Structure 1
């Protein structure tokens, strides 16, 4: 509990400093506002290159362990019996996911629930291998964001941020998944 409260306190202090610095610079405020609502209007090559580098580093970390992902879903003991170094595999997957998620979030902002909804969409398309789900998520997630961005530009007279469209898509899917989980 002490660690949790310390984390919340440090987060609040850093957020206060960040907010104060943003309010002083109107241009920074506009950029941060755009990032906070989730925007794919990334200006220039540099953010795209940084994002690609983060994706590449994450893939390099996870690809050697992709074959072990299905075995991990059978449980730690079964995976270990099949020769999987469970601890190392879990650590590498967490590192890879953290790098890729942090890079994507730093580049375009917060797109709520894309990471939760994407694997379920893939499974609904009859892909059940965890290995395929992970690899296809790298394609379907960005495709969902791109489709949301295009829809957001054409749905209203004014532009609707892609993150809002994603929330309208992912919210009902997650509610349906939660309801299905309650009834099983």
Structure 2
């Protein structure tokens, strides 16, 4: 466990996530999810966390491991076509992770998700957080539309609202 990482997470307050993603930005992100889901049968969730605390921090949980926990906790794996996708941003680590259920992951693969994460991280480095998230959602939605196009109305299986932890 790195003392530098612990210090960064202890100093990185959760309020930073709310400052970077105010209600107006969250509303635009929610709209991007709704617009994307109109083109495919998949489900997209966005979660941003300012910093880890408690057990995740002191267990030295990586952003990827945390994203897997959140993917499970939010039941993103529980979609009819196994095509749920989580976009997770851990601000303190400057890390974005995409966790995809097996149906869509088998079609896109690690390299495809990493390309989207890298583009998002480039936007974040430039200080364009909400724009980077929206472009990431659009890229994920393009993949979902290519492999799981929308046929009919279909249910919205998961909430579209972003989650700020």
Query: Normalised by the size of structure 1, how large is the TM-score?
Result: 0.30
- Structure with higher Rg: it is 1
**Greater strand proportion:** 2
**Greater helix proportion:** 1
Query: Normalised by the size of structure 2, how large is the TM-score?
Result: 0.32
